[in-house]
Structure 1
Amino acid sequence: MDLHQLYVFTKVVEHRSFSKAADDIFLSQSTVSSHIQALEKMLNIKLFDRVGRESILTPQGERLYQWALKLLLIKDQALLDLKEGMTDLRGMIRIAASSVPGQFMIPRMVKRFREQYSEVTFHIHQSSSKIVAEKVLNGSVDVGILGDKYDNDKLCYIPLLKEKLVLITSNRNEIVGPVSIEDILHYPFVMRNSNSGTNALLERSLKKNNIHKGQLKIIAYTESGQSLMQFVIQDIGISIISEIAAREYSAQNMLKMHEINGFNDERYFYLIYNINKTQSLLSKLFIEGAVDLVGGGQHKPV
């Protein structure tokens, strides 16, 4: 059984698409199709049902996928054992991240990981926390980093970093902190989209303070954290965001950061992975070292 064909097969499974798998591993779609057809012919089984634009695994395909992951992991371990040092380990780690981890945590983590494993390549997908969790569940990425928790027995959460929400205003705004939530209601407000972890924590904090989101003078919703920052910097509105993100911009004197009275709830940013997905050796090393990579302390999966 050809290990490269098995590798191509796993990519089609994870992307549910021949074309997306081809893009991911830099092959033509026809080459990917040829590898799958060769596998089907050799094993004398059908691996996929074509349903619309998606390629759905057959029961036999599902069983082969589990074996393929195990065989590819054994291959990585064998190569590692044959090498003189672990720094020669090569491969790709696919990460989905929400906006704050994607912008302020992952660059540091990648830098530190590559100091030890210089041949690793990272593929970063940035989206909302909800979509991050979905990508981890469907296997299209190896791990996710996000700021909210979604109940699912397949997801394992490792807390990386704790933070809270703060108010940000332009340097021209007259607000002097710390502020009360009632003070905020009088100003134009810029809001993150509903699927972000920051928005989820904000709505919980508002509810705890008996404030309905409708009481805010919302002038814009945005999916982009950078776009939100520009709204505030240009004094179009104020916003409540991650302390980690706000601190970076405040330190550069691009905006002002204020504590909010009554907003005492803290949250974690988590690394998550799917317990049913067989991880590559590189992904395992990244997961096991994640807390140290981000600069945190000890952790326990929760």
Structure 2
Amino acid sequence: MSDLPFTLDQLRILKAIAAEGSFKRAADSLYVSQPAVSLQVQNLERQLDVPLFDRGGRRAQLTEAGHLLLSYGEKILTLCQETCRAIEDLQNLQGGTLIVGASQTTGTYLLPQMIGLFRQKYPDVAVQLHVHSTRRTAWSVANGQVDLAIIGGEVPAELQESLEVIPYAEDELALILPVFHPFAKLDTIQRDDLYKLQFIALDSQSTIRKVIDQVLTRCEIDTRRLKIEMELNSIEAIKNAVQSGLGAAFVSLSAIAKELQMDVLHCTPIEGVVVKRTLWLIFNPNRYRSKAAEAFSKEVLPQFATPGWNQEVLKVPPLVTEVEEDVRDRSISTQA
């Protein structure tokens, strides 16, 4: 086939319609008119000679051929982005783009500090932070949409062979109480005292809640005996509820630094118990790693890692080494 039956713009439109669920919302997200989107889809279907959307329902539904094209189209668009970043690196090592992923807690409280430190040294690098669930973040790293990520949950089993998953740091989970709670006057409390408290927690189906429950169980705390009086959908909401006297909670120590400094929450130690979870660094060794990502890995990651963290695991050759070698070989040949 001499000419491809689709263009990159048509693949972008197809991806937008699938994500937004309608031609109109896709057009809005791409800043083009709805007739322009419809025309591109019609041209694409005519060129491929297959229908890509089932137009019978209110929501734009992909046909089997549409799903197949979308699957390959996403890979093509990701590879195009990698190509642009690789060329950008060759042209200007001080510029480029860094895309970092994180699960909810690390993305809200840890990654902004790390990115701030990186930006001080590399102000010309465009930095993107994608904060999603552990599962979605892991898939983004696997698909090459994110350079690397720091997560607190477990990588999906189907991705563990394709991703490097490295213990990165320990995150302490603190028991927080209202400053006027009777236990706040004590130096420590006993493990059994936990069962007398009313707790505020995240939704039982959330990844963070499951991780916290697993960690507490490993510390011989029976989570079934904890009185969960309220479930909220964010760490910030939980902190505000505890501050208002509605109960106690376990949250990441990194999430309450400001509140402890302002003395609006009390962190109460449990005698003989230190509740910690592992934060994991994940990246795809088979994807191109930009110069910006290499600089972030070498200069920022070690500063927030657990002492003794093995930085050598990050020394994975970029996927485009052969391309760069070919460019260098051509340059040497020209000079000769």
Q: TM-score, normalised by structure 2?
A: 0.67
> Is 1:168 matched with 2:190?
no
Deviation of the 1:268 alpha carbon: 2.4
Structure-2 change in CA distance of 1:62 and 1:151 (3 Å): closer
Deviation of the 1:189 alpha carbon: 1.1
Structure-2 change in CA distance of 1:25 and 1:60 (3 Å): closer
Q: Distance in 1 between matches of 2:107 and 2:127?
A: 16
> Is 1:77 matched with 2:82?
no
Q: Decide which structure has greater strand share.
A: 1
> Is 1:118 matched with 2:124?
yes
> Is 1:152 matched with 2:157?
yes
Deviation of the 1:67 alpha carbon: 3.7
Q: Distance in 2 between matches of 1:270 and 1:223?
A: 23
Structure-2 change in CA distance of 1:119 and 1:234 (3 Å): same
| Structure 2, unaligned runs of 5 or more | 315-336
Q: Distance in 2 between matches of 1:145 and 1:25?
A: 30
> Is 1:108 matched with 2:113?
yes
Deviation of the 1:6 alpha carbon: 6.3
Partner of 1:5: 9
Deviation of the 1:169 alpha carbon: 0.9
Deviations 1:40-76 (A, max 9, x none): 555x365945496443644455445434433442233
Q: Distance in 1 between matches of 2:14 and 2:115?
A: 25
CA-based RMSD: 4.0
Q: Distance in 2 between matches of 1:22 and 1:162?
A: 44
Structure-2 change in CA distance of 1:103 and 1:76 (3 Å): closer
Q: Distance in 1 between matches of 2:19 and 2:40?
A: 16
Identify which of 201, 215, 228 aligns with 1:218.
228
Partner of 1:194: 204
| Structure 1, unaligned runs of 5 or more | none
Q: How does 1:1-302 map to 2 (within 5 A)?
A: 4-5=8-9, 8=12, 11-12=15-16, 15=19, 17=21, 22=27, 25-39=30-44, 44=48, 46=50, 48-50=52-54, 53-55=60-62, 57-81=66-90, 83=91, 85-89=92-96, 93=99, 95=101, 97-98=103-104, 100-115=105-120, 116=122, 118=124, 120=126, 122=128, 124-126=130-132, 128-130=133-135, 132-133=137-138, 136=140, 142=146, 144-155=149-160, 156=163, 157-175=165-183, 176-208=186-218, 210-272=220-282, 285-286=292-293, 289-290=296-297, 292-293=299-300, 295-297=303-305, 298-299=310-311, 300=313
Q: Contact 1:97–1:125 (CA<8 Å) still a contact in 2? A: yes
Deviation of the 1:275 alpha carbon: 7.2
Deviations 1:85-129 (A, max 9, x none): 334436x8474531x223212322333444425362636445x54
Q: Contact 1:86–1:117 (CA<8 Å) still a contact in 2? A: no
Q: Contact 1:8–1:21 (CA<8 Å) still a contact in 2? A: no
Q: Distance in 2 between matches of 1:73 and 1:215?
A: 50
Q: Contact 2:198–2:227 (CA<8 Å) still a contact in 1? A: yes
Q: Tell me the matched-pair count.
A: 291
Structure-2 change in CA distance of 1:231 and 1:61 (3 Å): closer
Q: Contact 1:10–1:65 (CA<8 Å) still a contact in 2? A: no
Secondary structure of residue in 2 paired with 1:185? helix
Q: Which amino acid aligns with 1:73?
A: E
Q: Distance in 2 between matches of 1:69 and 1:232?
A: 43
Secondary structure of residue in 1 paired with 2:256? helix
Q: Which amino acid aligns with 1:108?
A: Q
Q: Which moved more, 1:213-222 or 1:191-200?
A: 191-200
Q: Contact 2:201–2:249 (CA<8 Å) still a contact in 1? A: yes
Q: Distance in 1 between matches of 2:100 and 2:16?
A: 15
Structure with the larger RCO, 1 or 2 (CA within 8 Å, 6+ apart): 1
Deviation of the 1:208 alpha carbon: 3.5
Q: TM-score, normalised by structure 1?
A: 0.74
Q: Contact 1:164–1:264 (CA<8 Å) still a contact in 2? A: yes
Q: Distance in 2 between matches of 1:214 and 1:243?
A: 23
Q: Which amino acid aligns with 2:96?
A: L
Q: Distance in 1 between matches of 2:235 and 2:297?
A: 24
Q: Distance in 1 between matches of 2:118 and 2:31?
A: 24
Aligned-pair identity in percent equals 17
